Amino acid sequence: MKLPHKTLFGVILLAAALPLRADDTVTIPKSRLEELQRKEADLEALKNQLLKAKTDLDQTKGENQQLKKQHEVDAVKIAQPSAPVHESAPLASLPPLNKVDPIDAMDLANYYQQDPAAADQRFRKQSFPVQGQIIAFEKPLFTNPYKILLKTPDRDVPVVCEIQPPEKYNSVFIANHGSQMVGSLTREYPDVLARLGDLVVVRGECKGLRDGRVVMAACELKSARPSR
């Protein structure tokens, strides 16, 4: 039986196409496929391990930095131990104010910090001497009086003494990088009135607390000597 020409031609085309489609398909053995899948899983696990190791390393570096900073802070504390706490006698236990014996600036500041009202009742508007160590100077512009700040248990609450310099000086000013208060008739020959660290006795009138500072006004510098 003869096939029509068109049918025969179609069979030939189909036979020619079959090998081409077979070439497009690659067959992999099951064992090989499983091996590739295992390797891919191993690679993914390795990547996760490396990522975790990097995270742990970064965390360790951060902890080491914190430990280093804490060590530096501890070293400073050891090298500079904190000053001992200054304890003052209870205000109610004190005898009447005699206005002759100097009151320690450390005690005066303590009383005003502990009970401002009771301290005012005892000290405010009273004139008496105060003794202490100079920790700073202040010289307001356009005024002749200067100020000395006396050491207290809390540096933020100093005793501030406003001092009128002797009349022989036409000017007073802070000198030597803030370490001296000097007075002079001419700037070429100044006299040192006080130095940082000096132990001084100052007499004046207590004005109580002003802006967190214990103020003594209209003061006179009675004595000053270097601290040992």
What's the token pair of residue 150? 């006396």
State yes or no: pLDDT of 156 exceeds 70. yes
Q: How far is it, in rounded angstroms, from Cα 174 to Cα 182?
A: 6
Kindly report the pTM of this predicted structure.
0.62
- The predicted-structure confidence for 34-64, as pLDDT tens digits, reads as follows 888 888 888 888 888 888 888 888 888 777 7
State yes or no: pLDDT of 7 exceeds 60. no
Domain 102-225 -> CATH class: mainly beta
What's the token pair of residue 152? 């207290």
What's the token pair of residue 73? 């802070």
- The predicted-structure confidence for 138-149, as pLDDT tens digits, reads as follows 998 888 899 999
Per domain, the residue ranges of the chain are 29-79, 102-225
146 close to 163: Cβ distance less than 8 angstroms: yes
Q: What is the pLDDT of residue 38?
A: 85
User: Where residue 211 falls among pLDDT bands split at 50, 70, 90?
Assistant: very high
pLDDT (average), residues 15-24:
48
Q: How far is it, in rounded angstroms, from Cα 151 to Cα 154?
A: 8
| pLDDT above 70 as % of the chain | 81
